[in-house]
Structure 1
């Protein structure tokens, strides 16, 4: 439930705080005062598209903040927590949306910045908007089908979801089957190339790291003499047999060790150095021994060198085709083996998918028939509910007809084509909705459909209203007047007894039924003039006098008592101080109380 909305610098509104009642809140005001901006602000809070053009002229940004009660809505509270936001101790969440004049938009939920889409996800659970744009959409067959499904209830919609899941799985399988069958020759060629490559690798039988080992062996065998000379020279330098000169490294280290040991008793520090020299001597002796073994073992091996070159050539043929190194080649072979298994398994997998597709055909046929049955049953109930509403909206004799007929071919939403038709009076032919009706009649038909849908959802979700959305009606009473307008108000008030309802209206007959009445007001602008109600002077809600824009300051105030009577009188006659109009307003308020 929405508790309040605070707006700053949005369109013609400089600053406004909009408190919303638990039941029916009506919003009224003169044309051009900014009523639409209140709903624009609500749309921003609910994740709607941001428009930099809606920022008040001269302001750097627009901001809309709302407080939403989520008590009893664990699903919504969990979504807030998942987004990193917090639900306050009183069960409310603060939602903030800002729009910079440069166009950038930011959204915050429970004190945490979130993507716009998060607000839109939560809005789907919290708010349902019924406006003139929704009426236009309801003329399309797809939207009429969706409306019927909504009216049919939660169990029916669960059946539709079962059907859609089966349809999506079947569509995916058909795409795979098509791919397997149309690419059969291509898959066969790919499998043959993989087999040839694997056969070649199996014949050569490369070992991990073998190419690197052979490269090192070739380098050693190809420069055997140079290696022998270098190793021999190193050995002689470290520990040669030249006794006369005694210039080897081992001898030099030994002399240094003995010299230090001779005086170690006088200074222990020199004794430590003597120990380290002894360790160095052992290491040099080990190196000398290994060098001697290396020289003894190093021999020219032309045959071995030729064999190594030949093996490297074989491995090189593989690395030129399947990877830069032998390890790459072995990885290719592993992947190729798995891919070959997949390709060879195509026939069995194809048969398995065809069996599953046949099973899904049966599932779709059964689920589709249940969906059709639900729609046919709901069609009669929806037609009756809307027809009853029309009788109360000064269209007695008019009848809504909801046809459910087999579609040309099954689709992701079922087997049916749904059409709404209007029979304006007994004996008249039923025509598709939107044809053959005046604007006022069409508005009343659309409103009757919307109220029937909203009422059906209330009845479909029993409880104290905590799990129901807030219903917002944006001037859906356009083209309605007189007794029909009173009935509109009565029906909205009845709906508001189960859940929160917000209505923007021009009709006093509707406004009189509100539990709370908010008036959007405007004051004079900078140039000392009010904005023309028609908005003709300035597309952004400004007058222009001598080239100076007159920015309107708009606010929202709640009216009660005599102030409310004056507002209703203004709506009735344009003369809020007219005694006759005021008397009529009082009568409306009194009759609305009785009519509830």
Structure 2
């Protein structure tokens, strides 16, 4: 949910900070007070198109910031955040957008700079904005299949996953056949290239870790003089008359004589004796090492040449010897495939035929499930429309017949579908996107939103005057539907209908005032008495009578009864 919204220097808003709650929040106020400006700010916050016109006159930039709390750990935003390298701690997501007076935007998500496209992708997963005249997501036919899949997710998603696993292999095999069936001249050029590369790698006769061993040997050769001097000095300090071993041997003799007189000195004698023999062994090792030490400048040149050869191969085929050898194995297989292309194509074609049969079975099962859930969706939509006094409206999920060839298979299945409606008896069904009536479009959208809000995962839904063009019992039905959507998602709604305002869990009153010769917008959260006055104003206009207040109280009592049931 959107917990906090801060707006600064945006249009006629000087500085505004609004704390929001769960459930239905209704924004009301006189026309021009700035209600839609707040929604405009939210629209920009989630990636909408901005311009310098939004910056308050005389100010350098407009600032919009929103704090969202995402309680569901499985919400898609966590996956998107991982893809963009963002951290979400304690379920908090902070979106921020600054728009300069020159029209430039700076966007941030949890403090990290992002592009507008990234902000839009993140924002669309948590906020869904519906305006009176906009083409909504529900009106976009390319998204209708995804909406149906969401509606029947428990049955459809497992079948879709099974289908897509086979489709991925089917698609890969198809592309492989296409690659092998390319122009023969291109294949010949490719074969010449990788054959040359393979020969170059094989002629190098690489060994794993060879470069590390050569570096170590090179280091020793380059430091030969220092190594020889250190080893020789160590040997001289230990071996010879009046040297280390001679003195320790003398100590050992004296301690041995003392130990014969004092038994407590036996451990000391043992320690000195052990040290003597250990040092004696070390001295022999040093001598042997000195005997084999030999400076060979030609060997150093050989190592330099070999390391240079290895580095040349690394620049071409991989950053390590292991990667070079892996590449060698890969192109060796490719050479075999190209050389025996006809056999490979034949094998792949047989595999493709088998996969196509499996894919067709999965696709048909998926289609059957979608058609089953399409009927359930139609019944649910008709039920919702009836409650909105559109009981004569016919809604249909219309499938296009699948063509009986391999190209019918797509990542989403073999189906193509679109939502159709007819709002008047005797009129033919038309695509939902062709509905013209504002009032009908609003009710149709609300009916569908009531159903899909349970499945879409957005945390905040914004309705900007979607109740325009309705009145009477339809207005009451719309109010109840908007509140029903708010059961599953936080809803912010700008409305001029008293019925909608009465259903609010939180009622915010928007007004503008002039201070110091400048217009500014303020937001006030209404208490129970203030709600009665505001709903009364919405009912009667300017003058609020006792009868108006009575009607307002009745509306609030009715709304309370409806919410309790």
TM class, shorter-chain normalised? 0.5 to 0.7
Contact 1:451 1:491 in 2 (8 A): yes
Query: Are 1:471 and 2:461 an aligned pair?
Result: yes
1:540-559 to 2 correspondence within 5 Å? 552-559=519-526
Relative to the length of structure 1, the TM-score reads: 0.64
Matches of 2:314 and 2:506 in 1, distance apart? 77
Matches of 1:368 and 1:150 in 2, distance apart? 17
Query: Are 1:418 and 2:404 an aligned pair?
Result: no
Relative to the length of structure 2, the TM-score reads: 0.67
Match of 2:363 among 352, 364, 368: 368
Match of 2:494 among 501, 504, 515: 504
- Deviation of 1:149 after TM superposition, in Å, equals 2.4
Aligned to 2:455: 457
Structure whose alpha-carbon radius of gyration is higher: 1
Q: How many residues end up aligned between the 2 structures?
A: 445
Aligned to 1:560: 527
Aligned to 1:493: 483
Aligned to 1:442: 441
Contact 2:140 2:433 in 1 (8 A): no
Contact 1:68 1:93 in 2 (8 A): yes
Contact 1:63 1:97 in 2 (8 A): yes
Q: Counterpart of 1:476 in 2: which secondary structure?
A: coil
Query: Are 1:12 and 2:8 an aligned pair?
Result: no
Q: Deviations over 1:166-194 (max 9, x none)?
A: 44554444334223212223323554688
Q: Deviations over 1:466-501 (max 9, x none)?
A: x77233323322322211111111122233234422
- Deviation of 1:381 after TM superposition, in Å, equals 1.6
Aligned to 2:542: 575
Match of 1:342 among 317, 334, 342: 334
Aligned to 1:36: 36
Runs of 4+ with deviation above 6 angstroms = 77-82, 193-202, 205-208, 324-338
- Deviation of 1:565 after TM superposition, in Å, equals 2.2
Residues 421 and 77 (structure 1), Cα distance of their counterparts in 2 relative to 1, 3 Å cut: closer
Matches of 2:30 and 2:54 in 1, distance apart? 19
Contact 1:66 1:95 in 2 (8 A): yes
Consecutive unaligned residues of structure 2, counting only runs of 5 or more, are 207-307, 318-323
Aligned to 1:87: 89
- Deviation of 1:7 after TM superposition, in Å, equals 0.9
Consecutive unaligned residues of structure 1, counting only runs of 5 or more, are 209-323, 459-466, 529-550
- Deviation of 1:116 after TM superposition, in Å, equals 4.8
Residues 395 and 349 (structure 1), Cα distance of their counterparts in 2 relative to 1, 3 Å cut: same
- Deviation of 1:421 after TM superposition, in Å, equals 2.5
Matches of 1:469 and 1:433 in 2, distance apart? 25
Residues 36 and 340 (structure 1), Cα distance of their counterparts in 2 relative to 1, 3 Å cut: same
CA RMSD of aligned residues (A): 4.0
Q: Deviations over 1:296-325 (max 9, x none)?
A: xxxxxxxxxxxxxxxxxxxxxxxxxxxx99
The worse-fitting range, judged by mean Cα deviation, of 2-11 and 190-199 is 190-199
- Deviation of 1:118 after TM superposition, in Å, equals 5.4
Q: Counterpart of 2:445 in 1: which secondary structure?
A: helix
Residues 153 and 485 (structure 1), Cα distance of their counterparts in 2 relative to 1, 3 Å cut: farther
Q: Counterpart of 2:496 in 1: which secondary structure?
A: coil
Contact 2:509 2:523 in 1 (8 A): yes
- Deviation of 1:94 after TM superposition, in Å, equals 4.0
Residues 377 and 326 (structure 1), Cα distance of their counterparts in 2 relative to 1, 3 Å cut: closer
Query: Are 1:152 and 2:144 an aligned pair?
Result: no
Q: Deviations over 1:38-61 (max 9, x none)?
A: 223323443444433322222111
Q: Counterpart of 1:345 in 2: which secondary structure?
A: helix
Matches of 1:330 and 1:13 in 2, distance apart? 61
Contact 1:12 1:554 in 2 (8 A): yes
Matches of 1:133 and 1:407 in 2, distance apart? 34
